[in-house]
Amino acid sequence: MDEHKVLAKEALQLLNTADHLAYMTYPMLNDPKLLITISQNLYNALIKAVDSILYYEVMYKRIPNFRNTFEDKMHVFRENCLEKYRLDRNGFLVLKDLKEILDEHNKSAVEFRRRDSFVICSDNYRLKTLNLAKVKDFIHKSKPFIEQTNRIIGKK
């Protein structure tokens, strides 16, 4: 199977995992640390969806090869694929938000739970809060984007 089809399938599986964790597992456990895991699954799903479209385009030589960095992928995707395939912009924006949150999480020295939220504190004490409502909103905005990429890759 072609690499872009494998990536599209993995993106859908990761989306389903994030959805299940948010709507089924989290209400039973009520552990705000699970919000990070859900965010990571959703971020990986969105990255794989973007990669599947990019590798599809490279395979047919519609775009040149690109460096495998987040910034380069986002630039090439935004410039060459977003409008061409009429993809939902919300999924693209959620990807940027999740990248920022997860980078803060990886760099942060202090993280703590507050009620039903997970708070990430940066070095200059700027707070980022992650709660179930925000994560569910991210999932809701990401679904059309990932489903569209699967339809594009699936019918080719």
- Write out pLDDT tens, residues 5-29: 999 999 999 999 999 999 999 999 9
Residue 114 placed within a domain: no
Domain span holding position 76: 3-101+133-154
Buried b (16+ CB within 10 A) or exposed e, 52-81: bbbbbbbeeeebeeeeeeeeebbebbeebb
Residue 41 placed within a domain: yes
Residue 106 placed within a domain: no
Residue 112 placed within a domain: no
Per-position DSSP letters for 4-61, written without gaps between them: HHHHHHHHHHHHHHHHHIIIIIHHHH--TTHHHHHHHHHHHHHHHHHHHHHHHHHHTT
pLDDT of 65 strictly over 90 = no
Instruction: Give dist(CA 94, CA 10) in Å, integer.
Output: 18
CATH, residue 47? 1.20.120
Instruction: Report the Cα 56 to chain-centroid distance in Å.
Output: 19
Residue 126 placed within a domain: no
Residue 42 placed within a domain: yes
Instruction: Tally the domains of the chain.
Output: 1
Would you place residue 156 in the very low, low, confident or very high pLDDT band (cuts 50, 70, 90)? low
Residue 145 placed within a domain: yes
This prediction has a pTM of: 0.94
Residue 122 placed within a domain: no
